[in-house]
Amino acid sequence: VPVSRFLSSDDIRERFAQAMSAMYQAEVPQYGTLLELVERVNRETLEADPALAERLAAHGELERLDAERHGAIRVGTAEELAMLRRLFAVMGMVPVGYYDLSAAGVPVHATAFRPIDETALARNPFRVFTSLLRLELIESQALRERATAILARRDIFTEGCRESIALHEAQGGLDEEQSERFIAEALETFRWHREATVDLETYEALNAEHRLIADVVCFRGPHINHLTPRTLNIDEAQRRMPDAGMNPKAVIEGPPRRACPILLRQTSFKALEEGIRFAGERQGTHTARFGEIEQRGMALTARGRELYDRLLGDARRRTAGLDNEAHQRVLGETFADFPNDEKTLRREGLAFFNYRLSEAGGTGGCVESASLEELLERGLVSARPLTYEDFLPVSAAGIFQSNLGGENGGNYTGSANREAFEQALGAPVADELALYAERERVSRERVLKALSAE
């Protein structure tokens, strides 16, 4: 196949995300309801705020507003995780970040498979939060062995999926027809199964240890457990969920609403109880699948992140048991200590920025050696915050927990094990802070070069 006939990984990722969305809407009708609500709130937000509409249009974000931003799956073995790494690579998605959820009572660790370069992110930022179950954290040896044996019997990939991945690796790409086959076959891994692979007793034993263990171990594959569109007003969307027939989680996770949004705010409708046929023809239910929404703000530097973590910790000591409104009020008060204008955030090195020539900067050239700060002052260069593309462990734990039916936390504290995760993955995970820092550096050097007198 001539290289020019290959689809770009961006094209494949976009088509795959669309196919996944269609499948999930068909599987979980309430997710379609969530999409409608988000669409309505977004439309009203844009109508009420023409400046926002203009800004989004100028940044080319309006036409992709409706595309999902992320999804999540949970797998059970190193082999499954390593194969997923190869699968996502076909779509230009690489593992970024290490998330230890054990500290929050969830026996998994995770990474996010996502695109990393500027153009790929702009085209379609779809990511998949991917967790690996940590069987070693199951206390009962008998149960651990049972789970291990059950997982060893399944293959979550179709033959066609494995072939497509191998073909991509051998050729360095896939043409139109091969890409369509890859998408159809890869989608099978994420499909829901109404039949469990185990009997009800086994399910219940695993469920009693931790609901997440039952979710990962008892099914033929790692069903997509939620998708997440982008909302322009998460507070309003949360408020309207009950009237639209959805049961929202108690609070919006992450930072409070701010003039300069930071990191990531998320909420979800709670997982639905769904009928399952267990081996031996017994009927039962399983609760795993939900719908989520997100609103992203700027990526923070290590320094900004430290401040965020500290303030969030302070706020959390005062928010236990509060409803969302009160919770947001306490967060708002606590985060008054976090600078809330772009200039201060930039000068104090709290957030990452992208630098570009402003209109006045034109096509560059002919400025005697000036510092970036001077160029910004003179209006030749503009700075725009980089969007946070990753996840937040405390928020993720909150999402996990509210969808596992509340207080089902085991006590697995202090057992992050990034090395074991990377060993299972078969590759290191990228450091998200280094990725933002590099994008900032490249943009800074580009404008300085363009403006330097030749």
Contact set for ligand OOG, span 268-327 (CB under 6 A): 292
Contact 51, 257 (CB under 8 A): no
Q: Which does 436 bind (CB under 5 to 8 A by kind): Ni ion, ligand OOG, none?
A: none
Q: Which does 211 bind (CB under 5 to 8 A by kind): Ni ion, ligand OOG, none?
A: none
Stretch that binds ligand OOG, among 43-51, 276-284, 388-396, 418-426 (CB under 6 A): 388-396
Give the C-alpha separation, 318 to 331, whole Å: 9
Contact 69, 61 (CB under 8 A): no
Give the C-alpha separation, 1 to 177, whole Å: 11
Six-digit token string for 389: 């593309």
Q: Which is nearer to Ni ion, 125 or 173 (CB)?
A: 125
Q: Which is nearer to ligand OOG, 129 or 182 (CB)?
A: 129
* Bridge partners for 273 per DSSP: 287
Q: Which is nearer to Ni ion, 72 or 81 (CB)?
A: 72
Given candidates 37, 237, 399, 450, which one binds ligand OOG under the rule CB under 6 A? 399
Handedness of CA 66, 175, 111, 402 (dihedral sign): positive
Given candidates 111, 207, 266, 295, which one binds ligand OOG under the rule CB under 6 A? 266
Name the residue among 402, 420, 408 with its Cα closest to residue 110: 420
Q: Which is nearer to ligand OOG, 311 or 396 (CB)?
A: 396
Least distance in angstroms from the C-beta of 390 to ligand OOG: 10
Give the C-alpha separation, 189 to 173, whole Å: 21
Q: Which is nearer to ligand OOG, 129 or 269 (CB)?
A: 129
Least distance in angstroms from the C-beta of 410 to ligand OOG: 15
Contact set for ligand OOG, span 123-142 (CB under 6 A): 129, 131
391 touches ligand OOG (CB under 6 A): yes
All residues at 6 or more sequence positions from 357 whose CB lies less than 8 Å from its CB, including other chains:
363, 364, 380, 381, 382, 447, 450, 451
Six-digit token string for 101: 């959820």
Name the residue among 275, 294, 297 with its Cα closest to residue 286: 275
Given candidates 111, 225, 231, 287, which one binds ligand OOG under the rule CB under 6 A? 225
**Are β-strands 70-75 and 226-228 bridged in parallel, bridged antiparallel, or unpaired?**
antiparallel
Q: Which is nearer to ligand OOG, 74 or 296 (CB)?
A: 74
Contact 113, 170 (CB under 8 A): no
Name the residue among 192, 363, 356, 191 with its Cα closest to residue 275: 192
Least distance in angstroms from the C-beta of 373 to ligand OOG: 36
How many amino acids of this chain bind ligand OOG (CB under 6 A)? Answer: 13
Least distance in angstroms from the C-beta of 218 to ligand OOG: 15
237 touches ligand OOG (CB under 6 A): no
H helices within 4-77, ranges in order?
9-27, 29-48, 50-58
> Helices (H), strands (E): how many in the chain?
18, 10
Q: Which is nearer to Ni ion, 129 or 352 (CB)?
A: 129
Q: Which is nearer to ligand OOG, 211 or 346 (CB)?
A: 211
396 touches ligand OOG (CB under 6 A): yes
Q: How many CB atoms lie within 10 A of CB 19?
A: 16
Task: Work out the angle between the directed axes of helices 78-89 and 159-171 (0-180°, nearest 10).
Answer: 50
Least distance in angstroms from the C-beta of 370 to ligand OOG: 42
Stretch that binds ligand OOG, among 55-63, 322-330, 333-341, 389-397 (CB under 6 A): 389-397
- Residue showing tokens 């059970």: 76
395 touches ligand OOG (CB under 6 A): yes
Interface positions with Ni ion (CB under 5 A) = 72, 228, 292
Residue nearest to ligand OOG (CB): 396
Q: Which is nearer to ligand OOG, 229 or 361 (CB)?
A: 229
Rg of the Cα atoms in the chain: 23
74 touches ligand OOG (CB under 6 A): yes
Six-digit token string for 202: 């086994």
Question: Which residues of the chain form contacts with ligand OOG (CB under 6 A)?
Answer: 72, 74, 129, 131, 225, 266, 292, 391, 395-396, 399-400, 403
